[in-house]
Amino acid sequence: MVQSSAANVDDYLAELPDERKPALSELRRLCRAELAGFTEVMAYGMPAYERDGVAEIAFASQKQYISFYLMRGDVREAFTERLAGQDMGKGCLRFRKAAAVDFELVRELLRATAARPGTVC
């Protein structure tokens, strides 16, 4: 699933293959717990979390991996050491298997994002 036409995140999660639902549900739970003041929306066919109308975090079930989008360059730079060795694109952290999602790293990235506003790339 690259892009979903789901109207909301509940519907998005319901569409997922059974083997991915627990991992993506946990990503959602972490986002909702750590991103106080953010709004959960569907954007570009995936769950996203906006502050003041700007998406700073998103996640998706892609064909070959689970993606976690960290759209703040300052947060990525602050975590250079922790992200070294991870499968990371410009703003997308990829987990090839649902069991490989590093929820503690995700929690730390979410907390850093929530701590203060910043520029989205």
pLDDT in tens, the chain (121 residues): 467 999 999 999 999 999 999 999 999 999 999 999 999 999 999 999 999 999 999 999 999 999 999 999 999 999 999 999 999 988 899 999 999 999 999 999 999 999 999 999 8
CATH number for the domain whose boundaries are 9-115: 3.90.1150.200
- Structural domain boundaries in the chain: 9-115
Check residue 97 and give its pLDDT.
Answer: 95
The CA angle 91-94-110, to the nearest 5 degrees, is 60
- pTM, entire model: 0.94
User: Which residues make beta-bridge pairs with 51?
Assistant: 54
The length of the chain is 121
Check residue 1 and give its pLDDT.
Answer: 47
Instruction: Report the C-alpha gap between 76 and 89 in whole angstroms.
Output: 11
Instruction: Report the C-alpha gap between 36 and 60 in whole angstroms.
Output: 21
CB 29 within 8 A of CB 21: no
